[in-house]
Structure 1
Amino acid sequence: MEDKRKYYGHTKEDPVTKNVLPKTDWQLLLDHLQSVSRLAEERAGKFGAGKLGSIAGLVHDLGKYSVEFQNRLERKSAKVDHATAGAQAVYKWYGPMVGGALAYAVAGHHGGLPDGAKGNEKNLPGRLKKTDIPNYQAYIQELVLPGLVETDLSSIPIPKTKNMAAFSRAFFIRMLYSCLVDADYLDTESFMTPDRAAARTETVSLATLLTRLNVQLDKLGERSREQPSTINTARQGILANCVAMAQQAPGLFTLTVPTGGGKTYSSLAFGLNHAVKYEKERVIYVIPYTSIIEQNAQVFREALEEVGAVEPVVLEHHSSFEYPDMSFEDWNPDEKAHRLASENWEAPVVVTTSVQFFESLFANKGSRCRKLHNMVNSVIILDEAQMLPVEFLQPCLWALAELVLNYGATVVLCTATQPAVKPLLPAGLTPIEIMPNPKELQQIFKRVTVEYAGAMTDEQVAAAMADKQQVLTIVNTRRHARLLFDRLQQLMPEGNYHLSARMCPAHRRQVLDAIREALKLGKPCRVVSTQLIEAGVDVDFPAVFRAAAGLDSIAQAAGRCNREGRRPEGGRVIVFDPEKHGMPSRGRFQEVASIAKEVMRRAARNSEDVQSPEAIEFYFREFFSEEEKYLDATGIIQSLDAGKRELAFPFPEIAEKFQLIDSATFPVVVPWDTRAEELMDEAEYHPFPASRARSLQPYVVQIYQHELAALEKNRAIKLVGGILRFITDRSFYDDCFGLKDAGEVKAAQDVWIF
């Protein structure tokens, strides 16, 4: 006898009473499966796997065809495993390779990509053999699993070399998973919470954004012509080269532009021109530091967004806050659009951090992987590419190569000190340099001499600073910055400034404005800063002291010296060996600084410029040679290779290993000024406090677990809305140094932080 039962995928609640509505308002399971199948096919079709995306969407909820799950919807039974059924079906139907890839995505569409190793019933092999799952064969009344023909698989990504086989296949599984979970989220959202779906606004075309950018660039060009100089002429030449080279075929590019060469606008011009020419879907701008992401995002907004527009043109996505679901209803329209776009990067221009970008590429949870398919057919620009973390350099480069070779992406490694990564790239991938004359550019932008001064005590550095009207000293640790500043204050109490990440962005911005004003007016201006000032901060000092560091950091410091080239005598950068508290004990910082010092000595012996492309290349060759065994320190590529025959990939383990920041930090909001206090009060008494998270970002300081614990012990922290941490005692925030490093808040070892 034919079963006339209706099978449902989701119930529906009354938006006001939250009571479950009658079944006539529920979503039919077949409708859900067909919709997810269509959406997943669209997404996977971008990399030739449309048929596999369609199948994954069609089978992902096969387990809901069981009586037990239908009873669960009626609240008559406990939780039911509904993902294993579809995984077993595709594995049986399509075999261990194609079916195995599909099984990973289907089995993990709620809990995350599972481990492919045998021996644990929760891992994929255990789930594929699981027998105690409810009978779901009723699906055959409504669905027929489609067959696969050769043409369905002819365009899917394949490993370009034998040694990339495991990495490429695992990458493909993660991409397929991204398509499925995003499709599932979107269809479920469309049915369950249509107001959320409606808030996903249409985006602006890249052609429109390119037109807007050209208007801005014309204004900047006119300003440069009104103030003619060799530097301004060179910047216009850099921009013109970027626009011209954007016509080159998609691939891997390097953009070697000296600090001060205007590479932010020029690289964006390359990205948008290239995207329009080759019908790319978005431009993704990856920045190493959270401290400057807001600055770059603002530059892009001013160039690309129209005042008052709601659509998310420039999506700024980093990890200061996560947005809890319960707060959505109270977000204003532009906040809603931004938040929703951050879930899957559905925006034409994304500005994000290296942490967010790369950790997503190696994640196994749906919430982190949803965005991956939107990296396909995109232009990806990595600013300050030399800052890619050494311990994960090989996996990072392989991921970028995979995006270029198999997923239609164009990648630009953008830096003033181009790392010598060519020997580390797989599959013979060779980058194309956008600038025809990096060496000549280096000479044009050569505004400083770099000299190595040897060891200097804090007292000697402070005395040298006090002897100058305007000077910047960049150190490696917050502790050193504070001790040196205190020493300077004793010698010369006026005209001194301190900068570190202990200060909230609003505080730093105020201090930087004061610094720029003092520099402009020729007033005394002596600054002690951590490395954060090297990250694209536009300041111009006649002299800079730099505590020993890598040559790339020294080059960044030089970019804050005689920046505009208006001092005929040039600027001076003095590199010194600090006292013990000035060198981080974590990582291999000492070794990196030693290589830089050897390069400086070598350059001095040979009368060479330490900032020349040759010196930089020598530094990175030595660096990578010295660090070769650490380029994949956690063994990610090796752990994938171990399981390549049976697609036994340890996805959860890799996600856990791939942590670019080895110590988790927590955002705390500080009562820096009256505006901060007003926003904090507003959030505290608001029914949805987290809806005020973005407006509070200028008042956020990131702290470590031990610091958070110490503040909580002192009852200086209040948790608001389950997510926002407020500093409640203003005395814990210093008007000079920012959030206090109280004596009772001591780390087990030195913390090197930007």
Structure 2
Amino acid sequence: MEKFGIDENTFSKITFLIGVCHDFGKGTKYFQRYLFETNPSIQRSLRNKREYHHGLISAIFTYYILEKYVGSLKDKNILEYIPTIGYLIVKKHHGNLKNAEDEIRELIDEDTLEIIDLQIKSLDTSELKAVYEKLLDEYGIPFDIDTFCNEYRSIAKEILKSKRKFIKLLKEEQFTGYYLITLTLYSILINSDKIDASSIDVSSEIEISPELVDKYKVEKGFQNNESTMNKVRNEIYKEVTENIENLDLDKKIYSISVPTGSGKTLTSLSFALKLKARLREEKRIKAKIIYSLPFLSIIDQNYDVFEDVFKTVETTNLSEDVLLKHHHLADIFYRTQDDEEFEGLKSLFLIEGWNSEIIVTTFVQFFHTIVSNKNRSLRKFHTIANSIVILDEVQSIPHKYWLLLKQVISGFAEYFNTYFIFVTATQPLIFDPEKGEIVELVKNKDTYFREFDRVKLKITLNPMNLDEFKGIIDSEVKEKIDKNFLFVFNTIKSSLEIFNHLKSLKLENSDYYYLSTNIIPKERLKKIKEIKEKSEKRKIIVSTQLIEAGVDIDVDIVYRDFATIDSINQVSGRCNRNSSKSYRGQVNIVVLKDERKEFHRYIYSSFLIDKTKEVLKEFPSEIYEKDLLFLNNNYFRKVKDTSSEDESKELLSYINELKFKTLTSDFRLIDDKTGYEKIDVFVENDTEAAEIWKEYTVMKSLKNPLDRKEKFLSIRRKFNEYIISVPKKDFPCEELEDLNIGYIPLEQIKHYYDPETGFVFELKSTMMCD
């Protein structure tokens, strides 16, 4: 914070003053009536009347007090605008942030000012005076409530004047620091407010050994395995973790860029634990570890690895305040080291607050926290300060957001002591190592990529339709009866056509697996688990892109519909992954098309496809694994050097000008490239689903909103395991308006949902909606 011109003591006082001032408006007789009203229907009606709101009057009071405090300080810098920032965040501490410029316009509205007149006249000034004189005296802030009540309209004019100056400054300076300090103060306020209201606080001192992963590797005998693969894994692990003591802690953005399957999950965790210990010892920073990944399919996989580390080495029970999984399919349950257990709303409250030493979560959760205006998401914004953030499979971040995220991440690193570790086999140039923007923890990565000779890539750029492709693969799957195959497609419909074709071949001694978002999550995870298990039968797997990044499967031959370089490299990591074959795995890249265009053009931007083709033209039609590092680096360099940064620059202007609402409406980490409006559909796939649906309908009938929410949380994880999202155009009936969801009942399941391939697109118009 000192780089903002705000020392730790001053920042602490600012947060305190915002905290004690933010509910000033609850002292009106209007709010007190609302507070003590016992009839819920009357209370709801009062909530809609403006004089019963407390945000705006509290915001004006907060500005008034902060102005007095800042005025007493000698060196102002950014502090000059702290009162205006305090006004903005207190005004919306029970809602979502809006654009800063819009939030102050109410102060020129006479009707609004007359409402505040009524509130001012209704204040219990004697009691408020006693409370605030005592609180503010410690800070040397003279306080006269009568002065505030008499001069509040003049204060409102001061806020307007300060706002105009502040908005002009934001537009001129384009400084991300104002965004970061505003959201940090907002996050601290709403988190503290919610903790106070809930009476739940489980913060505790939990020590995790920095040698935890070292001990785990010994316990599991990893050091004794002399295979080439394990030898490289151990070399990478040693290089990354043994240099922690020599690391310059002023550098806060790191890279672990190593080949797929080379143990980066354990390596990054061990590095983070050792960095955590060093930060505690040298900087007195108690850093939590936030491990973020793009896909649910690998979150559970990597969480299971972390869980196994703790259960193998630690003697204490593993609890959620030590290791937490946070995504929409995770259990709503929270247990502490002291064996205190929470369920329902209390559990959700703790989970969403990231009150744990290690959090395993999604990119959506993480990036839609640091780029957001949502009250619920921003509650944990301040916890990212002083943390160690591991971003795994970072190549999945859309290139159009590189500049935006670089700016925000750099701000966290520079101003909030946040350390970032970018982990991937295909490192995008969000931060440029040639410019010293990121520290490479693996100095010998060229050597490691050269050591592997697991796969050979064959690139065929002449487009072909699916019938032509069937002719190519038929003979191969028939002849190579001992080989496991993986086929990866760009669209669900093309993947379905090939899967059904392969099934029709009725090949002996073969198990078939189909994976896409067309299948309910419960079945997807089950299929991935089955694929990873050893079997006497060979496996033929057909999938969309969801299987690419991080899913730990190992096949002999891959066919991949044309994609960008990073996707090609990721799918190559599923081929001969563990280097257990005495021969190279084969990865075949083909260009498939329908009657309109190539399938890749439905999914990827033309810009990225063109850069991929430019890079591939520099290589022969066959590429070996040792070439992949150069291939990836060349691709990302071309993307960075020639891509438009217009979208990132526009979003950055929203950030720098505190246009929170506009920013959130335009930022989408996951784009729906189909352009079709979608509907969530509950698939009553089995008797367990039928019971869950019954509970859901009962829950929706409950009148009390808190009762409904509590009931839904008890079934949320299992409920979401049966949800798929499909285009409305392919769903033959209206969604159930009273339930806000589509529904395929168990008795009709065979017509509309296939157990192997999921949702049937050619649905009959006779489908019932009840």
What TM-score, normalized to structure 1? Answer: 0.78
Range with bigger deviation, 271-280 or 476-485: 271-280
Q: Give the Å deviation of 1:97.
A: 0.8
Which whole-Å CA distance do the structure 2 matches of 1:334 and 1:214 have between them?
34
1:600 maps to which of 613, 616, 635 = 616
Amino acid at match of 1:67: K
Aligned residue in 2 for 1:291: 297
Aligned residue in 1 for 2:500: 486
Aligned residue in 2 for 1:181: 190
Q: Secondary structure at the match of 2:554?
A: coil
Range with bigger deviation, 486-495 or 259-268: 486-495
Distance 1:421 1:699, change over 3 A: closer
1:650 equivalenced with 2:659 (yes/no): yes
Aligned residue in 2 for 1:60: 22
1:82 maps to which of 41, 48, 54 = 54
Aligned residue in 2 for 1:132: 115
Range with bigger deviation, 227-236 or 449-458: 449-458
Distance 1:464 1:661, change over 3 A: same
Q: Secondary structure at the match of 2:175?
A: helix
1:710 maps to which of 709, 727, 731 = 731
Distance 1:242 1:667, change over 3 A: farther
Matches within 5 A, 1:18-417: 49-75=11-37, 78=49, 80-95=52-67, 97-117=81-101, 121-122=105-106, 130=113, 132-133=115-116, 134-135=119-120, 136=123, 138=125, 139-144=128-133, 145=136, 165-190=174-199, 197=200, 201=202, 205-208=206-209, 210=210, 212-220=212-220, 222-223=221-222, 225=224, 227-247=225-245, 248-250=247-249, 251-279=252-280, 280-304=286-310, 310-319=319-328, 333=342, 338-417=347-426
Q: Give the Å deviation of 1:483.
A: 1.2
2:760 maps to which of 733, 737, 740 = 740
Decide whether the 8 Å contact of 2:179 with 2:655 is kept in 1.
Answer: yes
Deviations 1:198-220 (A, max 9, x none): xx545572425x56544433233
Decide whether the 8 Å contact of 1:534 with 1:553 is kept in 2.
Answer: yes
Distance 1:131 1:147, change over 3 A: farther
Distance 1:48 1:561, change over 3 A: farther
Which whole-Å CA distance do the structure 2 matches of 1:217 and 1:163 have between them?
53
Deviations 1:519-564 (A, max 9, x none): x53x332221111111211221121111111111001010011111
Which whole-Å CA distance do the structure 1 matches of 2:763 and 2:604 have between them?
27
2:527 maps to which of 497, 507, 511 = 511
Decide whether the 8 Å contact of 1:609 with 1:615 is kept in 2.
Answer: no
Q: What 5-or-longer segments of structure 1 have no aligned partner?
A: 1-43, 150-160, 191-196, 325-330, 644-648, 746-754
Distance 1:164 1:146, change over 3 A: farther
Q: Give the Å deviation of 1:681.
A: 5.2
Q: Give the Å deviation of 1:81.
A: 2.4
Q: Secondary structure at the match of 1:51?
A: helix
Q: Secondary structure at the match of 1:278?
A: helix
Q: Give the Å deviation of 1:449.
A: 1.5
Percent identity, aligned pairs only?
A: 24
Which whole-Å CA distance do the structure 1 matches of 2:664 and 2:390 have between them?
23
Q: Give the Å deviation of 1:117.
A: 1.6
Which whole-Å CA distance do the structure 1 matches of 2:259 and 2:694 have between them?
45
Which whole-Å CA distance do the structure 2 matches of 1:670 and 1:307 have between them?
40
Which whole-Å CA distance do the structure 1 matches of 2:172 and 2:105 have between them?
30
Which whole-Å CA distance do the structure 2 matches of 1:606 and 1:695 have between them?
45
Q: Give the Å deviation of 1:472.
A: 1.1
Aligned residue in 2 for 1:535: 549
Q: Secondary structure at the match of 1:541?
A: coil
Distance 1:567 1:697, change over 3 A: farther
Amino acid at match of 1:86: S
Q: Secondary structure at the match of 1:502?
A: coil
Q: Give the Å deviation of 1:566.
A: 2.3
Distance 1:341 1:612, change over 3 A: same
Aligned residue in 2 for 1:462: 470
Distance 1:614 1:723, change over 3 A: same
Distance 1:398 1:147, change over 3 A: farther
Decide whether the 8 Å contact of 1:680 with 1:726 is kept in 2.
Answer: no
Which whole-Å CA distance do the structure 1 matches of 2:310 and 2:109 have between them?
51
Which whole-Å CA distance do the structure 2 matches of 1:705 and 1:126 have between them?
44
Q: Secondary structure at the match of 1:736?
A: coil
Q: Give the Å deviation of 1:490.
A: 3.3
Decide whether the 8 Å contact of 1:549 with 1:589 is kept in 2.
Answer: no
Which whole-Å CA distance do the structure 2 matches of 1:94 and 1:489 have between them?
70
Q: Secondary structure at the match of 1:540?
A: coil
Amino acid at match of 1:90: T
Q: Give the Å deviation of 1:440.
A: 0.7
Q: Give the Å deviation of 1:706.
A: 1.8
Which whole-Å CA distance do the structure 1 matches of 2:222 and 2:619 have between them?
38
Decide whether the 8 Å contact of 1:401 with 1:429 is kept in 2.
Answer: no
Amino acid at match of 1:670: V
Distance 1:112 1:433, change over 3 A: same
Q: Give the Å deviation of 1:228.
A: 2.0
Aligned residue in 2 for 1:13: none
Which whole-Å CA distance do the structure 2 matches of 1:392 and 1:277 have between them?
32
Which whole-Å CA distance do the structure 1 matches of 2:87 and 2:651 have between them?
22
Q: Give the Å deviation of 1:465.
A: 3.2
Decide whether the 8 Å contact of 1:286 with 1:352 is kept in 2.
Answer: yes
Distance 1:513 1:287, change over 3 A: closer
Q: Give the Å deviation of 1:298.
A: 2.5
1:670 equivalenced with 2:683 (yes/no): yes
Deviations 1:17-52 (A, max 9, x none): xxxxxxxxxxxxxxxxxxxxxxxxxxx998972111
Deviations 1:345-381 (A, max 9, x none): 1111111111111111122232111001111111000
Which whole-Å CA distance do the structure 1 matches of 2:137 and 2:655 have between them?
30
Q: Secondary structure at the match of 1:660?
A: coil
Range with bigger deviation, 651-660 or 300-309: 300-309
Q: Give the Å deviation of 1:508.
A: 2.4
2:635 maps to which of 581, 598, 619 = 619
Decide whether the 8 Å contact of 1:378 with 1:409 is kept in 2.
Answer: yes
Decide whether the 8 Å contact of 2:257 with 2:427 is kept in 1.
Answer: yes
**For the aligned residues, what is the CA RMSD?**
3.7
Q: How many residue pairs are counted as aligned between the two chains?
A: 659
Which whole-Å CA distance do the structure 2 matches of 1:322 and 1:84 have between them?
38
1:639 equivalenced with 2:646 (yes/no): no
Amino acid at match of 2:90: V
Q: Give the Å deviation of 1:127.
A: 11
Aligned residue in 2 for 1:19: none
Deviations 1:644-700 (A, max 9, x none): xxxxx2222212222223458665443444554455556666785413335416733
Q: Secondary structure at the match of 2:559?
A: strand
Q: Give the Å deviation of 1:182.
A: 0.4
Decide whether the 8 Å contact of 1:719 with 1:725 is kept in 2.
Answer: no
Distance 1:587 1:738, change over 3 A: closer
Q: What 5-or-longer segments of structure 2 have no aligned partner?
A: 1-5, 38-42, 68-79, 141-169, 281-285, 334-339, 700-706, 766-770
Q: Secondary structure at the match of 1:49?
A: helix
Distance 1:559 1:482, change over 3 A: same
Aligned residue in 2 for 1:591: 607
